[in-house]
Amino acid sequence: MVSGGVKNITLLGCTGSIGRSALEVVRNSGGRFKVVCLAANKSVGLIKQQILDFRPEIVAVADEASAAQLRQWVKAEGVATIRILSKEEGVCEAASYEKSDFVISAIVGASGLRPTLAAIRAGKDIGLANKETLVMAGTVVMEEARRYNVKMLPVDSEHSAIFQCLDGRAQSHIRRLILTASGGPFFGKGKHELKNVTADDALKHPNWSMGNKITVDSATLMNKGLEVIEAHHLFGISPACVDVLIHPQSIVHSLVELIDGSLLGQLSVPDMKGPIAYALAYPDRLDGVIKRLHLEEISTLTFHKPDTEAFPCLRLAYEALRVGGTMPAALNAANEGLVWLF
């Protein structure tokens, strides 16, 4: 950290849903965090506003044409001291920037792997929102994190919940992890009812405001399958000890079952600023990040077993994890291609 206890932050995926929420946490942190690097694909208009708001030292844009536009703009605006990098190499350079203390990895999909590895190898602690990094190369990534003594702090709400519930408990005390899933917009529908759904239908998530790709993954339960693989690598838990329950209210973000039969859960309103703030401030907590949860106002919390006939993606993720090797990476690649085609 720099003097005064300010933590310098690199944000990979600054224009996405997680990135925008992270910047809101930074903005409201009372100067506890400073953004030194931003990275995105190409949303030039939004990046310009983020530059003006946060004055980073480096901005990396994967799309070369967008980077060229930004270079011209920073000169015209008199903020030419900001370095504009481009292509995947530029994003990786930003991820490993020497002045940064902490890297939030929130790039969507497979594109997040190389920058995350670059950050780890530069000794940066990671706030991981890009689950595909562990799905594709979990063994490699976790070995590198241990090698470089890097903390891997989960930003996914489910894995953040488990991380908080584990709280240093001995592995021998853990019976299983239970990831909760909202069920998405198609919860309760049978296989025959899903044949003609549209992208607009799939993007109507009942509880969370997220990017398009993860919202579609949530609708198919592939997101939960990817999270099972992520949990296996992140917490060193056997796949047989990672279960999924549908919890439509999205209040209990996940649970840990101990060997004595106790269940520990983390509850809060569904707002990604909560797990983002916890990762940023860990081991501290920030006041007033999200709305308080009033249990007396909640009439019911329900839990259901997932229907893997209607939603086979979850079953396929378990199968890919069982096969091992490059099969989870192949699963992820197939899913990314199909989601964009859809």
User: Measured between alpha carbons, how far is 22 from 40 in angstroms, rounded to an integer?
Assistant: 14
Q: Within 13 Å and on the Cβ side, how many CA atoms surround 87?
A: 1
- Residue 181's pLDDT is 95
Total residue count of the chain as it appears in this document = 342
Tell which residue, 310, 278, 272, has the closest CA to residue 291. 272
- Residue 214's pLDDT is 85
Which class for 68: exposed (0-12), middle (13-18), buried (19 or more C-beta within 10 A)? middle
On whether the CB atoms of residues 22 and 280 are closer than 8 A, the answer is: yes
- Residue 195's pLDDT is 86
Query: What percent of the chain stands above pLDDT 90?
Result: 83
Confidence label for 2 from pLDDT (cuts 50, 70 and 90): very low
Query: Looking at 14-18, 19-23, 30-34, 186-190, which range is the least confident one?
Result: 186-190
- DSSP structure class, residue 265: E
Which class for 134: exposed (0-12), middle (13-18), buried (19 or more C-beta within 10 A)? buried
User: Measured between alpha carbons, how far is 214 from 330 in angstroms, rounded to an integer?
Assistant: 18
- One-letter amino acid identity for 71? R
Confidence label for 188 from pLDDT (cuts 50, 70 and 90): confident
Q: What is the DSSP string of 55-101?
A: --SEEEESSHHHHHHHHHHHHHHT-TTSEEEEHHHHHHHHHT-TT-S
- Residue 245's pLDDT is 98
Bin 250: left if φ > 0, else alpha if -120 < ψ < 50, else beta.
left
- Residue 3's pLDDT is 38
For residue 51, the tally of other CB atoms under 10 A from its CB is: 21
Could you tell me which residues are beta bridge partners of residue 9? Answer: 35, 102
Given a cut of 80, is residue 206 above it in pLDDT?
A: no
Over residues 80-84, the mean pLDDT reads 86
Domains of the chain: 3-155 (3.40.50.720), 159-271+288-341 (no CATH)
User: Measured between alpha carbons, how far is 109 from 221 in angstroms, rounded to an integer?
Assistant: 16
For residue 238, the tally of other CB atoms under 10 A from its CB is: 10
Q: Is the dihedral of CA 10, 16, 19, 20 positive or negative?
A: positive
Given a cut of 50, is residue 1 above it in pLDDT?
A: no
Confidence label for 282 from pLDDT (cuts 50, 70 and 90): very high
On whether the CB atoms of residues 120 and 141 are closer than 8 A, the answer is: yes
On whether the CB atoms of residues 101 and 75 are closer than 8 A, the answer is: no
Given a cut of 90, is residue 134 above it in pLDDT?
A: yes
- One-letter amino acid identity for 325? G
Residue 293 three-state SS: coil
Q: What is the DSSP string of 297-313?
A: G------B---TTT-HH
Query: What percent of the chain stands above pLDDT 70?
Result: 98
pTM of the model: 0.93
* Predicted confidence (pLDDT) per residue in 140-178, tens digit: 999 999 999 999 999 999 999 999 999 889 999 999 999
Q: Is the dihedral of CA 91, 38, 163, 249 positive or negative?
A: negative
On whether the CB atoms of residues 321 and 228 are closer than 8 A, the answer is: yes
Over residues 186-210, the mean pLDDT reads 85
